[in-house]
């Protein structure tokens, strides 16, 4: 199957050599071809250029006239909690009335609320709903996604979620990466130490045996799991080859970044609250920072200080954190808008953070995230737009006309 797009107003993110990961000043560089074409064969990018080098239409099975529209690499959403039982709409109203995310959790709501509902929900229903959500994500331009467990909080239900993710991997047309987040909250009726023991001695071996996870995650946060818990869980997971992608510094800074870096984390996610020392430790590591502006927006907490990350050349990605409690949006374009509007980064920085750097946060930068010959043709054709800067500008709107995966 050969396809060619012609008359593209802007072909965005064109890199001859795949740069893999951008940081600091580089993030402001988003190479574009104006009035361009791109050709694909069997889902791989075979060539591109400006229209004066257009190879003609005759040898292609499908020709797409992209006049007045843009083509860019599909987004990678590297942090989601897509397998959950149902919305927490009631807590949304509580928040409107003034309760904070933490106050709701302290009353037995939050993650524990979802865990109670999940235990009642058949695997098939969880699968159908999550499949539907990923299709909606794709309609907003997502071409690869990470999905975490974390609403099971016991062996049976954590495995249930991970098996749902495994089926999603098998049946969706985009890459899906699975992350084991048993350490999302301490389940009702258990002591934290006993639950951590269950994670290490019962869940991890079973998950490894069934090959159900690519990564491991811990919610390292006051009132959840501390740096020591995080350390022993990451230590145990490393024996099964699971790299960390962990929740750190969402509300408080308690040493999670140091532990993550020590265990060669692929990414450290959230980072709304950062001390000078946290920045220093991160700057000397290989970890990618993942900012989740939908969460800051939805639960009224600070935004990850992206200017600081840029200043210290820490590479970062944007992701949705799609989940029923702190970020019920699965739209990557919305995250790009929020990052530009609330975190004051440029459209170039935000798009790089959602394509190239986001792909790196799932170890997919060899196959996607830029317009590079030989990469997978996971592409977005936009609605009529004059410039890629209009992607964040028209915030909260549907900018995707069609996604190719
Ligand atoms: O990334 N902070 C921990 N976990 C999620 C929220 C989960 C929930 O509220 O259901 C997050 O914000
Ligand atoms: Fe999260």
Taking alpha carbons only, the member of 278, 256, 360 closest to residue 315 is 360
Q: What is the mean pLDDT of the chain?
A: 98
pLDDT value, residue 189:
94
CA–CA gap between residue 41 and residue 149 (Å, rounded): 35
Q: Which fold has domain 84-109+127-334?
A: TIM Barrel (3.20.20)
Taking alpha carbons only, the member of 330, 321, 317 closest to residue 358 is 317
Pocket perturbation via mutation, ligand 1, pick of 323, 324, 327 by most ligand atoms within 8 A of CB: 323
Say if CB 6 and CB 66 are below 8 A apart: yes
Closest ligand relative to 326 C-alpha: 1
Decide: 101 in ligand 1 pocket, CB within 6 A.
Answer: no
53-68, pLDDT tens digit by residue? 999 999 999 999 999 9
Which atom of ligand 1 is nearest to 111's Cα?
Answer: 10
pLDDT value, residue 372:
98
Protein residue with least CA distance to atom 5, ligand 1? 326
pLDDT value, residue 190:
97
218-238, pLDDT tens digit by residue? 999 999 999 999 999 999 999
pLDDT value, residue 208:
98
Pocket perturbation via mutation, ligand 1, pick of 115, 117, 325 by most ligand atoms within 8 A of CB: 325
* Alpha helices for 316-367 (secondary structure H): 332-342, 347-354, 356-360
Which atom of ligand 1 is nearest to 219's Cα?
Answer: 3
Which atom of ligand 1 is nearest to 323's Cα?
Answer: 10
Q: Token digits for 62?
A: 């499908």
Three-state secondary structure readout of 294-319: HHHHHHCCCCCCHHHHHHCCCCEEEC
What CA–CA distances, in Å, run from 277 to 171, 224, 236? 43, 22, 27
Decide: 111 in ligand 1 pocket, CB within 6 A.
Answer: yes
Which atom of ligand 1 is nearest to 325's Cα?
Answer: 9
* Cα 334 to middle of ligand 1, angstroms: 18
CA–CA gap between residue 19 and residue 196 (Å, rounded): 39
158-189, pLDDT tens digit by residue? 999 999 999 999 999 999 999 999 999 999 99
Q: Token digits for 261?
A: 């870096």
Q: Tokens 């292609």 map to which residue? A: 60
Decide: 295 in ligand 1 pocket, CB within 6 A.
Answer: yes
Protein residue with least CA distance to atom 12, ligand 1? 326
Taking alpha carbons only, the member of 303, 245, 299, 246 closest to residue 273 is 303
Residue spans of the chain under pLDDT 70: none
CA–CA gap between residue 338 and residue 226 (Å, rounded): 30
CA–CA gap between residue 263 and residue 257 (Å, rounded): 10
Q: Token digits for 181?
A: 């987040």
pLDDT value, residue 327:
98
Which atom of ligand 1 is nearest to 250's Cα?
Answer: 2
256-272, pLDDT tens digit by residue? 999 999 999 999 999 99
Decide: 114 in ligand 1 pocket, CB within 6 A.
Answer: yes
* Cα 167 to middle of ligand 1, angstroms: 23
**Taking the domains of the chain in order of start, what are their residue ranges?**
84-109+127-334
- Buried-exposed string 56-90: b where 16+ CB fall within 10 A, e elsewhere: eeeebeeebebeebbbbbbbbbbbbbbbbbeebee
Decide: 174 in ligand 1 pocket, CB within 6 A.
Answer: no
Which atom of ligand 1 is nearest to 114's Cα?
Answer: 10
Decide: 247 in ligand 1 pocket, CB within 6 A.
Answer: yes
Decide: 321 in ligand 1 pocket, CB within 6 A.
Answer: yes
pLDDT value, residue 140:
98
Q: Tokens 């909080």 map to which residue? A: 153
Torsion of CA 287, 305, 317, 75, to 10 degrees: 170
pTM, rounded to two decimals: 0.98
* Alpha helices for 140-275 (secondary structure H): 155-171, 192-198, 204-210, 227-238, 256-262
Decide: 256 in ligand 1 pocket, CB within 6 A.
Answer: no
């Amino acid at each position: 199957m050969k396809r060619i797009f012609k008359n593209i107003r802007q072909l965005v993110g064109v890199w001859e050599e795949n740069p893999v990961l951008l940081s600091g000043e580089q993030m402001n560089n988003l190479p574009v071809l104006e009035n361009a074409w791109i050709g694909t064969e069997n889902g791989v990018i075979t060539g591109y250029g400006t229209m004066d080098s257009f190879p003609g239409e005759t040898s292609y099975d499908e020709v797409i006239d992209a006049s007045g529209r843009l083509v860019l690499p599909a987004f990678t959403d590297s942090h989601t909690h897509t397998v959950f039982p149902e919305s927490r709409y009631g807590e949304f109203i509580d928040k409107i009335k003034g309760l904070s995310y933490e106050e709701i959790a302290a009353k037995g709501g939050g993650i524990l609320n979802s865990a109670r509902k999940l235990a009642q929900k058949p695997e098939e229903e969880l699968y159908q709903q999550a499949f539907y959500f990923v299709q909606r994500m794709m309609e907003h331009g997502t071409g690869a996604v990470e999905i975490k467990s974390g609403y099971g909080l016991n062996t049976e239900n954590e495995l249930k979620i991970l098996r749902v993710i495994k089926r999603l991997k098998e049946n969706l047309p985009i890459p899906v990466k699975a992350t084991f987040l048993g350490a999302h909250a301490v389940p009702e009726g258990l002591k934290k130490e006993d639950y951590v023991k269950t994670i290490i001695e019962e869940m991890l071996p079973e998950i490894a045996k069934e090959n159900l996870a690519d990564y491991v995650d811990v919610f390292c946060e006051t009132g959840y799991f501390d740096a020591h818990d995080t350390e022993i869980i990451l230590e145990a997971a490393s024996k099964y080859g699971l790299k960390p992608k962990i929740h750190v510094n969402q509300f408080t800074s308690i040493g999670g970044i140091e532990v993550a870096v020590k265990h060669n984390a692929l990414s450290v996610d959230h980072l709304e609250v950062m001390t000078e020392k946290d920045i220093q430790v991160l700057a000397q590591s290989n970890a990618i920072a993942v900012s989740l502006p939908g969460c800051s927006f939805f639960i009224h907490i600070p935004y990850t200080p992206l200017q600081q990350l840029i200043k210290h050349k820490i590479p970062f990605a944007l992701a949705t954190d799609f989940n029923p409690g702190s970020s019920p949006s699965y739209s990557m374009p919305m995250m790009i808008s929020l990052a530009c509007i609330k975190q004051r980064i440029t459209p170039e920085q935000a798009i790089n953070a959602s394509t190239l750097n986001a792909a790196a946060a799932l170890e997919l930068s060899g196959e996607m995230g830029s317009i590079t010959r030989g990469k997978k043709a996971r592409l977005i054709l936009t609605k009529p737009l004059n410039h890629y800067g209009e992607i964040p500008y028209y915030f909260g709107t549907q900018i995707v006309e069609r996604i190719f995966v």
